[in-house]
Structure 1
Amino acid sequence: MNVPASGGELPRQQNGPDGDLPLRTLRARWRAASLAAGWRFPSDWALPEVDAVCAAVLRGAGPEPSLAGLARARAAAGAELEEVFADLAALQAVLAQPDSDDGFVVPDLGTTPAQLITATALAWADAALDQIANIQVIDPLTGLATAAYLRTRLDELYRGSEGRGRRAADDHTLLVVSLDLTTMTGWRRVTGMILVAEAMRAALDGGESLATLGPSTSVAVLRRDDTLPSKAVLLRRALHQRLSSDAYIAQIGRPRIRLVRLPATHESACDLLRELGRA
C-alpha cells in the first residue's frame, strides 16, 4: 500500500526468526529498486548507514535519524541530492509493495512521507555545506589524503607541467585500486578500505600522493618512470597479503588495480576523480 505524503513513517517490515536474513533481504530489494531507478554507481550504494536504515524499519522505529545519517554519508561520497531522493523513493516503493517478489517496483517520491524527505534533504545539505566550509586534508578512516587535497595536488602538477611546456600525463599517471564491496556490509566494508590503505602506504613509500576517492576506491599519483612496473607489483603483493589475512574480506576476491592516464586539463582531472570515486 502507498503511504500518504503527509505521513511521517515508512511501512513497517516484520522481523523474522532467521537472524539478519530479513535485513539482508530488505537491503537486497532496496538496492535492486534503487539501481533500477537510476542509481549510477552500484559499487558505492551499500554504505554501512544503509543497514542502519533497514534495521530501524524492521524494528518499526522512526527512520528519520538513520535516514539523516545515510543522507550525510551519501553527500560525503559525492551523491547528488536528486540521486538521494530517488534512493529514498526506491525504499518507499519496496516497503509499500512487500509482495513484489520479482523486485519490480515503481519509485515515486510523491508517495514518500514529507517528513522523511525533509530530514533527508536537510542532512544532505548540512553535510554538503560542511564539506565546502571545512575541507579536510586527511581521511580519518584510512589515513590517506582526501579527494579535495588530491585535487589541489593535481593542480600543482598541472601548473608545473605547463610551466615546463609539457603535459601532466607525460610525467605522472594515476594508479587506482578498487574493491568490489557490494556483498560486504557494516564494519567489513570499512575494514577492507583500511587494509587497502595500509598496503598502499607499505608499497608506495617514495613520496607518492595517496588518497581515498570513495567508499571502495583509493588512488596514487605515480611518476611515469622505470620504477612504475615494480611499484605496481609490490602493491599487488601487499594487497594480497593484507586482504587475505581477513577471512571475511578475502571473500570479495582480488582488488582491481589499473593505471589511468591523466586527462589534458586539471578540470577534466577533477571530473575523472569524481567518476573514479563512484565507479
Structure 2
Amino acid sequence: MTSFRTKSRAECTFSRHLLLRRWQTVSYQTGWRFRADWFLPEVRTVVASLATSAMVPAPTAKLLGAARARNGVSISETMNDFRALFAAAEQALDVDALQSVAEGWAEVAETSPPLSCTDVYTGLATQAHFQRRIHEVSTFGAQRPGSHALAIISLPGPRDSRSHCWTLLARLGEAVKGELHGTGAVAMYQNSAIHILFPVSENNLSRLLECKAALEALGEGRLWPARMKFYPLSGAAAATAATSTTAVQDSSC
C-alpha cells in the first residue's frame, strides 16, 4: 500500500505530484464529465493536506466543495470525485471530510445561478436545456412523426419540506442516468417529477419501466409509489407537457 504520510521535502513533493495524477486518473475513470474542468487551486490544497498529514481538514474540504459548485459541477459528481481521491491514495474514505465537501457545495449552490446545461442538484438537464431539446426535436424531427415521445414519472412530494433533500436528488439523478444510459433520452427533474424526452422503441419503453422501479426503490420508499404517463410529441403541446403533468390526457402505468 502506498503511503502519503509526512516524508522529507523531496519525497513529499513527489508524493503530492503522484497523488494529484492518481486522483485525476481515478476521477476520470469513475465518471468525471469534462476533463478540462477538473483542476482547481483547491484541488492542489486538498492534495497537499492528504499527502502531508493523511487527512483533509474540514475547512479545506468545504473550500473544494464550494469551488466545485461555483463551476457548475453537480453534487453527485463532486462527491464521486472526492471518493476517487481516497481510492487514489489507497486510504479509507474520510466520511467527515466528505460531509464537509457536501456542505461547502450546498452553501454555494443555493445562491449561485446555474453555469451549464446540467442541473447541479441532480446532474440531469436544466429546464431551459430540456425545453430547447423538445423544441429542436419538434421542429427538425417533423419528417419522422412519432419518432420521439415524452414520459413523465411523477414522484410523491416531500412530507416535511418544499423539495426533496439534495442528497436524495443526487441519488435520483444517478439512478435516472444509469437506467437510461445509451437510450438517447434527455431527462429533467422539476416539481417532484422526472420529465424524459426519448426515442420511441420497444427497448426504450422497457428501460423507462426499469427507471421508474429504480426510483421507487430509493430513499427507503420515500419515492414510492411513482406514476408514469406518456405523451405524444406534437409541437406546442409537447412543450406545454414538459412543465405540466396535466397538459394532455394519455394512459398511465
TM-score range normalised by the length of the shorter chain: 0.3 to 0.5
TM-score (norm 1): 0.42
TM-score (norm 2): 0.46
Structure number with greater CO (CA < 8 Å, separation at least 6) is 1
